[in-house]
């Protein structure tokens, strides 16, 4: 039995004692291990900042803000997906995933810093360097009878500055509120035990899933789909969500594998848990392909200019090649990587599949955002690499701090024995 004192970053310091029978590999990261990880992440973060600063002088403001948006959404996607898995764990009252929950709780710690890091994007929007609809705010009366005039009359109230900022405040308020509450109650349970806090989290989780789904969908409409403000797709919010869920699952797998490699969680999060997560990764790989095809097929079949403009823009130059490669890289490759049962139970293959999904998820977001800026063909810039590196480092540093300040699993969850002894049924 071991004891320690932690500071959860939300409440006062709380003392916890590992319950009898729990291995020491669930204790918070030691200073030596955390220091090694932090050094590596700081090197990556500083490199990202240097690349960002160094590339600013060589690019336009529009390039900076579009690249920044690309890196930002990549990081936010992972955090929102992680919050979803926390909430859905409580909605389903799952036992097998108790040990995995703390990994996602630590990832969601980055939602607060990301809320602050959105401020440069607000500057980009209202300086006219990011979204097309800002030009119509400064010129609210296009030529009478024009197509732009009609669209603006329909949408100008929705894109008014006060209402736009109000919606953003609601989005981040919901995300920060639920992520903070779920992690606070989880850490309190580490100290006091019992099922009361579990029931409390289960009571709040359904409303969290509903609000998270609504706010994330409208965020994708407001910030991503409105890059071409005259384009619309009712499936786009689900498309955005499919990518977020895949990215967060892959991030969780990689974090668990890294911790196991460092000597942690080897006796609590086993290959049985990773096998089930890999099945979810496989399922959402198919789901993303279904949603992507549904959006494309309905727009192709309808053949209306207001809808086809999105895909027509991505049929120019190098973007056409990217459009062909995207389903191959983001669906076909991970589909066959994760199809065999043996691969789902092989840590090396799981790491390869998770890393590949994260890289191709970034490719998908790049394909969604950058054609608005470079309409002729692909123009890859240093900023396009620096921005996601910097943002991802911020997420990982926040998660690392969480791994240092709390046990790596919920040590007094009422269903902890189910996750430690969990086994898949043999085929």
- Name the DSSP letter for residue 16: E
What is the predicted pLDDT for the residue at 101? 93
What is the predicted pLDDT for the residue at 3? 43
H or E element that contains 5: strand 3-6
What is the predicted pLDDT for the residue at 223? 92
Task: List C-alpha distances in Å: 84 to 91, 320, 335.
Answer: 10, 33, 23
Q: Angle at Cα 357 formed by Cα 356 and Cα 358, nearest 5°?
A: 90
Q: Could you tell me the two tokens for 23? A: 């291995």
Nearest to 107 by CA among 131, 133, 138, 86: 86
* Residue 5 CB contacts under 8 Å (≥ 6 apart), including other chains: 13, 14, 15, 16
pLDDT in tens, the chain (427 residues): 344 444 433 333 455 666 766 777 888 887 777 788 888 888 887 877 777 676 665 567 888 899 999 999 999 999 999 999 999 999 998 889 998 999 999 999 999 999 999 999 988 888 777 877 666 665 555 544 455 556 666 777 788 888 989 999 999 999 999 999 999 999 999 888 888 999 999 999 999 999 999 999 999 999 999 898 888 888 999 999 999 999 999 999 999 999 999 889 988 898 999 999 999 999 999 999 999 999 999 999 888 887 888 999 999 889 999 999 999 999 999 999 999 999 999 999 999 999 999 999 999 999 999 999 888 888 888 889 889 999 999 999 999 999 988 899 998 888 888 888 777 765 5
What is the predicted pLDDT for the residue at 14? 52
- CA–CA separation, 202 vs 93, rounded Å? 7
The residues spanned by each domain of the chain are 33-93+110-139+196-399
Rg (CA), the chain: 22
What is the predicted pLDDT for the residue at 8? 38
């Amino acid at each position: 039995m071991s004891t320690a004192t932690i500071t959860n970053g939300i409440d006062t310091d709380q003392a916890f004692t590992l319950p009898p029978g729990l291995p020491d590999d669930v204790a918070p990261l030691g200073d030596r291990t955390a220091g090694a990880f932090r050094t590596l992440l700081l090197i990556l973060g500083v490199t990202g900042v240097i690349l960002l600063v160094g590339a600013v002088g060589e690019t336009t403001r529009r390039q900076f803000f579009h690249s920044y948006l690309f890196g930002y959404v990549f990081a936010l996607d992972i955090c929102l997906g992680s919050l979803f898995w926390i909430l859905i764990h409580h909605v389903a009252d799952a036992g097998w995933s108790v040990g995995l929950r703390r990994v996602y709780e630590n990832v969601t710690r980055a939602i607060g810093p990301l809320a602050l890091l959105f401020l440069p994007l607000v500057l980009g929007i209202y300086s006219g360097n990011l979204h097309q609809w800002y030009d119509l705010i400064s010129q609210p009366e296009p030529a009478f009878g024009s197509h732009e005039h009609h669209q603006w009359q329909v949408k100008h109230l929705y894109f008014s500055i006060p209402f736009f900022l109000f919606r953003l405040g609601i989005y981040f308020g919901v995300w920060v509120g639920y992520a903070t509450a779920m992690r606070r109650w989880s850490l309190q349970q580490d100290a006091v035990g019992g099922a009361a806090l579990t029931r409390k989290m289960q009571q709040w989780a359904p409303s969290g899933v509903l609000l998270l789904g609504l706010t994330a969908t409208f965020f994708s409409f407001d910030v991503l789909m409105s890059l071409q403000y005259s384009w619309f797709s009712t499936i786009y919010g689900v498309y955005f969500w499919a990518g977020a869920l895949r990215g967060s699952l892959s991030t969780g797998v990689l974090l668990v594998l890294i911790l196991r490699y460092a000597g942690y969680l080897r006796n609590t999060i086993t290959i049985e848990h990773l096998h089930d997560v890999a099945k979810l990764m496989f399922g959402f790989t198919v789901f993303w392909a279904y949603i992507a095809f549904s959006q494309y097929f309905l727009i192709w079949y309808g053949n209306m200019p207001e809808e086809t403009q999105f895909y027509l823009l991505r049929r120019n130059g190098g973007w056409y090649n990217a459009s062909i490669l995207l389903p191959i890289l983001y669906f076909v490759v991970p589909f066959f990587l994760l199809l065999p049962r043996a691969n789902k139970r092989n840590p090396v293959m799981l790491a390869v599949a998770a890393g590949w999904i994260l890289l191709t998820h970034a490719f998908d977001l790049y394909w969604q955002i950058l054609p608005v800026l470079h309409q002729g063909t692909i123009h890859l810039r240093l900023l396009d690499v620096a921005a996601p590196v910097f943002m991802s480092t911020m997420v990982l540093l926040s998660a690392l701090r969480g791994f240092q300040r709390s046990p790596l699993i919920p040590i007094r969850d009422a269903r902890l024995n189910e996750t430690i002894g969990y086994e898949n049924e043999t085929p």
